[in-house]
Amino acid sequence: MEKKNRLILALDVTDREHALRIANEVSDYVDSIKVGYPLVLGEGLGIVKELVEIAPVIADFKVADIPNTDRLICEHVFNAGAAGIITHGFTGRDSLDSCVKVANDFGTDVYVVTEMSHPGGVEFFRPVAEDIAKMAVEAGASGVVAPATRPERVKDIRKIIGEELSIISPGVGAQGGSAADVIRAGADWVIVGRSIYNSDSPAEVAKKICDEMNC
């Protein structure tokens, strides 16, 4: 993903018109659009084909299954035009390898969740987050997902993964995290949803977050 604005839009609206309107409004300020279950279950995977006309798409399906099922999911997502996919890592190295192999065949990216950004993200993820980060490096993933709500954890995870892998970081705004703080802690991109798409002026909010990250 080309680093221009350091902002990824989390497009968790559930209907096509709304999704395309927000995506078009903020397109000057985002490097990628992240879609997940809310939009794809609402509108089908075809929405990805439309959104890639506006910006590269990352599919946040938090893939977490056996290698063969993971492979089938990744193939569908990349055939639909997505440039990247978010997977879980707790399913183990063979499952992650399967996703990375498909991504390598398509020339796309795999981002592995390390520790989630919500309060419950510390309950089970905290003890394994660093091992998952190490595995992401060993498996040849493009990057990891780490919490903007806990910049100190982003710092820890950056130390483990080094400079080659990217950190994409959700939790800014609605979940309480600060874009500038988490970029300073070592994130490459912030992922922002509700603060942008629930705003009366999505483009203004997106611009403000970009300005804030010029740090």
Q: Which residues are identified as catalytic?
A: 60, 62, 65
* 169 phi/psi in degrees, rounded to 5: -135, 110
> Which of 5, 108, 117, 142 touches ligand NUP (CB under 6 A)?
117
* 178 phi/psi in degrees, rounded to 5: -110, 130
85 within 8 A of 61, measured Cβ to Cβ = yes
179 binds ligand NUP (CB under 6 A): no
Spell out the residues 6+ positions from residue 135 whose beta carbon is closer than 8 angstroms to its own: 89, 93, 96, 112
**What is the smallest separation between the CB atom of 19 and ligand NUP, expressed in angstroms?**
13
170 within 8 A of 205, measured Cβ to Cβ = no
36 binds ligand NUP (CB under 6 A): yes
**What is the smallest separation between the CB atom of 192 and ligand NUP, expressed in angstroms?**
5
> Which of 47, 80, 187, 191 touches ligand NUP (CB under 6 A)?
191
119 binds ligand NUP (CB under 6 A): no
Residue 211, number of CB atoms within 10 A of its CB = 12
Q: Which residues bind ligand NUP (CB under 6 A)?
A: 10, 12, 36, 60, 86, 113, 116-117, 121, 145, 147, 170-171, 173-175, 191-195
